[in-house]
Each structure stands twice: as C-alpha cells, then as structure tokens.
Structure 1
Amino acid sequence: MHKIPGYEDDPLVDGAYLVDEPLFWATHLLQCTGGVEDPLCAGFGVGEADLWQFYGRISGEGQWPVLSVPLSAGHLLHVVYRNFPDDQGFDYLLHHPEWKTTVPLATVEGCFRGPGLCWSELLAVAHTTAEAGSPLPFDPRIFLLLLPIMSDAELPSDADDVLAAMLTACGATGDTGALARILLEKQGCWGPQHWTLTPDGRISEFRHAFRHPAAMSSDALAQVTSLLRSGVDA
C-alpha cells in the first residue's frame, strides 16, 4: 500500500481487489451519472438494491479504498475513496514516492473540482497500462476507473464505440452502446468541457478545474501534461 501525503491518519486500504467485483464498475460509474443508477443497472444487468448495497460497502468510513494507476518514471495516479462520515467523495491525484505533496487532478463530490483529463489523455494512460498481447489496445479497467474525471467537448467520432468496448470488457451485458452514449453525453459533474494546449501545458477552460492557471502553477501544469500526454496529441 503506497503512502499518500495528506492521508497519513486515514484508514486507507488497497482497493485493487475491487476491480474483480461484479458490482464495482456499475457503482464506480455513478460518478458519471450524478448518482442516477437506472442506465448503469440496465447496462451491467444488476439490480438497483444490489448496486446501492455494494455502494454502502465501499463507502463505509472504516476503510478508504485506494486504486493506483502506474504512470511513467514511478509516478502514480491515485483514486481515493474518501469516506468521511456523511461526506463521501473521490479524490484523483498524482504522486511520486519522492514527493512530499500530491498534485490534485479532480475531486468528485458536492463541491466538485475538475475535470481531470481530456479524451486523448484517457486513451494514452489506458494504452500505456494495457497488457502485452491483449486484444484491446487499451486497458479497460484503467479506462473506466478514470472515466469519471474525463471531460471533452471535442470527442472523436468513434468515442461511443471505444467506450462500449471498454464496458463490455469489464462485464457490461446490456446495451453498451446506449450506456456509452449516456455516459459521454453527461460527462460527470462538469459536462463536456474545452481544453487548450498552451506552452505551459494543457489547461481546462472550466473555472472549477485544478488544471487551470488560477489553480495550478505553470511548472505543475507542464508536469501533469507530460505525464498524461498522448503521443498523438495535436
């Protein structure tokens, strides 16, 4: 279990086991629908009561699951289920074992901050973590894990098909095309947003974003962009 600055006194647990739980993805993607469960239950073929029971299990204050995505040069992208009593949220942040602090990408909660990355960056991270020899060019688990903080007003024409394939790979058994369209229309707390690639890095034009010059230094913006950059970015 990686140590995360700022969470030393919190009951963090390794949440890697969750990705194999049948109800996890439908529950995790509630972040994308604002808590609306109907399309997720239909897409994954799960019951509403079962979904919310599982949600209660992973949002209990006694344990805060952490799922970590390896990036280049030892950097990690942590997803922390921050389970304060009656104030549950999700923190997405970058860290390196040598850093004394983390770099926040997004926070999904009532007072949300984000988005955290654009579509091409989501593809880049999922491609980097894909297993050798896999029939899919992207790691579907990483793709869905980070989907809640993706926002992009300029999605490519095949975005629905790509997401539908990721949903199927992670156990969705219903109409994955319909679910993909819903998820990409809603795009979490912030809806579709525009990004601008500047000399200091890629910035979000959304005022609630961490990746904005008003919230993040130029050095940090450049570092985040470098860690998440796709080799085919324009």
Structure 2
Amino acid sequence: MPLIPGHEDDPLVDGAYLIDEPLFWASHLLQCTNGVEEPLCAGFGVSKADLLQFFERVSAERQWPALSVPLPAGHVLHVLYRNLPGEGGYDYLLHHPDWKATVPLARVEGCFRGPGLCWPELLAVAHKAAEAGSAPRLDPHTFLLLLPIMSDADLPLDADDVLAAMLTACGAAGETGVLARILLEEQGCWGPQHWTLTPAGRISETRYAFRRPGAMSSDMLAQVSLLLEPSGNA
C-alpha cells in the first residue's frame, strides 16, 4: 500500500483487489449519477440490493480503499475512499515521491470540488495505462476509475460508444449503451463544463474546480496539464 501524505494514520487498504469485480464499478459510478442506482443496475445487470450492499462494503469506516493510477515521471494519481463517519467522500490526489504533500485534483462529496479532467485527458491517461500491457488501446479500469471527475461540454461524436465499450470490458452485461448516454449527459456533480487552454495550462471555467487560477498555482496548473496531455512528460 503506497503511503499517501496526510493519511498516514487513516485505515487505508490497497483497493487493487476491487477492479475485477463488476459490482465495484457499478458502485464507483454512483458518483456520476449523484447516487441514483437504477441506470447502473440496468447497465450492469445487477439488483439494487446487491449494489447497495457492495456500496456499504467499500464505504466501511474501518477501511478506506485507495487505488492508484501511474502518470509520467513517477507521478501518481491516488483515488481515495475517504470513509469518515458523516463526512465520506472520494479524493483524487496527485502526488510525486519528491513532494511533501498531495495536490488535490478533484473531490466528490456534498461540497464537491472539480471537475478534474476533460475528455481528451481521460483518454490520454487511459491510453498511457494500456501501453505497459498488450491489447486494448484504452485501459478500461483506469478509464472508469477516473470517469467520475471527467466533465466536458465538447464531447466527440463517438464518446457514447467509447464509454459503452469500457463498461462492457469492466463487466457490465446490461444496457451499456443507455447507461453510457446517461453518464455522459449527467457528468456527475458538475454537469458538462467548458475548459480553456491558457499559457498556464488547461483550466476549468467552473468556480468549484481546483484547476483554475487562485485555487492552484500557475506552476502547478502547467504541470498538471503536461501530466495529463497525450504528450505529457513532466
């Protein structure tokens, strides 16, 4: 289990064991539907009871699953289930071994902060994750893990098909096309948002985002953009 600064005393567990369980993905994507179960149950072909039981399992206070996505030059994006009683949420934290603290990219909870990624960046990170292995052009686990913090008002025409394929690859056996359309229409807490490419990097136009001037330094904005772009080599 990698150390995450600021969480040394929290009951973190390596969440890698969850990625092969279809119910995990249905549960994880509740972040995208603001907790509405029906489209996820239909898309994954699972019952509401089973979905909620699994959600309670990964939300247990006694252990907090943490999953990690490798980024260029030793950087890591940690996805942390912050299972505090009454203050639960999901933290998406950037880190590098040379840093003393993590840098928040997005936070999904009642007082949400984000979005954290646009569509091209989501594709880029999922593509990098697939390069280490063979076969898929996009790594479906990475894609769905980070989907809850993706928001983009300028999606390509094939976005539904791409997402449906990722859902199928992660065990969805129901109405994946319908589910993909719902997820991309709603886009979680913030809904579809616009991004602007500036000399300081790509920034979100919503005031709730960490990726905007004032919430993140200009140096870090630029570094985050480099890390998430297809040619990122920060």
Q: TM-score range by the shorter chain?
A: over 0.9
* Structure 2 equivalent of residue 133 of structure 1: 134
Poorly superposed stretches of 4+, deviation over 6 Å: none
Indicate the SS of the match to 1:69.
strand
Are 1:91 and 2:91 counterparts? yes
Task: Report deviation, 1:86.
Answer: 2.1
* Structure 1 equivalent of residue 118 of structure 2: 118
* Structure 2 equivalent of residue 196 of structure 1: 196
Moved more, 15-24 or 195-204: 15-24
Whole-Å separation in 2 of the counterparts to 1:148 and 1:69: 14
1:15-43 deviations in Å (ceiling 9; x for gaps): 00011123100000000000000000000
Report percent identity of matched pairs. 75
Whole-Å separation in 2 of the counterparts to 1:190 and 1:128: 26
**AA aligned opposite 2:61:** E
Indicate the SS of the match to 2:32.
helix
Task: Report deviation, 1:231.
Answer: 3.9
* Structure 2 equivalent of residue 60 of structure 1: 60
Q: Give the TM-score, by structure 1 length.
A: 0.97
Q: Say how many residue pairs are matched.
A: 231
Cα contact 2:93–2:103 (8 A) shared by 1: yes
Are 1:165 and 2:169 counterparts? no
**AA aligned opposite 2:134:** G
Task: Report deviation, 1:175.
Answer: 1.5
Q: Root-mean-square deviation (CA), in Å? A: 1.1
Q: Give the TM-score, by structure 2 length.
A: 0.97
Are 1:29 and 2:29 counterparts? yes
Task: Report deviation, 1:125.
Answer: 0.2
Moved more, 15-24 or 115-124: 15-24
Indicate the SS of the match to 1:121.
helix
Whole-Å separation in 2 of the counterparts to 1:116 and 1:191: 12
Whole-Å separation in 1 of the counterparts to 2:15 and 2:158: 31
Q: Which structure 2 residues correspond to residues 63-78 of structure 1 after superposition, within 5 A?
A: 63-78=63-78
Indicate the SS of the match to 2:19.
helix
Whole-Å separation in 1 of the counterparts to 2:17 and 2:73: 24
Whole-Å separation in 2 of the counterparts to 1:194 and 1:126: 21
* Structure 1 equivalent of residue 229 of structure 2: 229
**AA aligned opposite 2:133:** A
* Structure 1 equivalent of residue 215 of structure 2: 215
